[in-house]
Amino acid sequence: MPTTPAERFSETAAGYAATMAPSLRPIAQAVVRRARLQPGERVLDVGTGTGSAAAAARGEGREVVGVDAAPGMLEIARREVAGVRFEEMDFAALRFEDASVDVVVAAHSLLFAADQPAVLAEWLRVTRPGGRLSLSVPGPSELTPSAIYGEIYERWGVDTGGRYPARESLADLGRVAGWTDVETVADPSTAIVLPDEAAFRRWRDIGSRGTATADFTPEQHRALTDEMLAVTPRAANGAFRIPFGALYLTARRPAR
């Protein structure tokens, strides 16, 4: 049984690629657009997962490196994304020299940091003076799955409180870590889109490996999934649409 977040992500990589990755790809692309990449820059994608942001950062002579602690995710990234170097690495302890990259991008990976200010400071360390950061996180809370599943979570004792920041608290995290010119933008339109019940159940199977429901029996997981299915909004084509708002942050390392 996997015990660390990296082990859980590695074990569920195929399911993640089939369910979450398509919905997160536009967010990753937005993170890269907001980074305002220039030709020839060295770009580091932290928590790269299956490589969506790294893929979007390619081109114009840039050197793109994607790092992730989950080998299962990196296996998919290496297979699907050419022209990027992928390395297995803890994004809280990067094996890069100080001031060695021009831009750090991170699509929805900061959420999984145990100490977010420390991780942001580590990303600052490897960024050159005047270099840039562009990232996204889910949030705020009223635009995440809790918006529709809140009562169900409460009934089942699933605690998601405090996971998702507001714009102001996200900006404060960046400033505390030493970043400057911090700007945040909220996009309430993003969602997890799952085409059918089978995809929904597979998505829930990925979520079941998290700490909030790790002790549930298979019967409890099925019952929880059934309740969630019953209240999930559906698009005109029948696809399930789960709210998953995005907050974007851009910042710069001080020039001195």
Q: Name the pairing type of β-strands 240-243 and 191-194.
A: antiparallel
Give the residue with greater pLDDT, 216 vs 181: 181
What pLDDT does 219 receive?
93
Q: Which domain holds residue 36?
A: 5-145+161-192+239-252
What pLDDT does 211 receive?
67
How many domains are there within the chain?
1
- Identify whether 152 is part of a domain: no
Give the residue with greater pLDDT, 208 vs 233: 233
- Identify whether 170 is part of a domain: yes
Whether 143 has a pLDDT exceeding 70, the answer reads yes
List, for residues 42-59, the tens digit of each pLDDT value: 999 999 999 999 999 999
What is the SS3 assignment for 101?
Answer: strand
Whether 140 has a pLDDT exceeding 70, the answer reads yes
- Identify whether 73 is part of a domain: yes
- Helix ranges restricted to H, the chain: 5-11, 13-35, 52-57, 71-80, 116-126, 146-156, 167-176, 197-207, 218-231
Q: Name the pairing type of β-strands 127-138 and 246-252.
A: antiparallel
- Identify whether 182 is part of a domain: yes
Whether 214 has a pLDDT exceeding 90, the answer reads no
- Identify whether 33 is part of a domain: yes
Helix (H), strand (E) counts: the chain:
9, 9
List, for residues 166-212, the tens digit of each pLDDT value: 999 999 999 999 999 999 999 999 999 999 999 999 999 887 556 67
Q: What is the mean pLDDT of residues 102-119?
A: 96
CB 235 within 8 A of CB 193: yes
d(CA 241, CA 223): 20
- Cis before 117 (ω within 30): no
- Identify whether 156 is part of a domain: no
- Helix ranges restricted to H, 36-70: 52-57
Q: What's 58's domain CATH number? A: 3.40.50.150
d(CA 98, CA 111): 24
- Identify whether 48 is part of a domain: yes
d(CA 157, CA 230): 18
What pLDDT does 191 receive?
94
What pLDDT does 99 receive?
98
- Identify whether 224 is part of a domain: no
Q: How confident is the model at residue 256 (pLDDT cuts 50, 70, 90)?
A: confident
Could you tell me the pTM of the whole model? 0.94
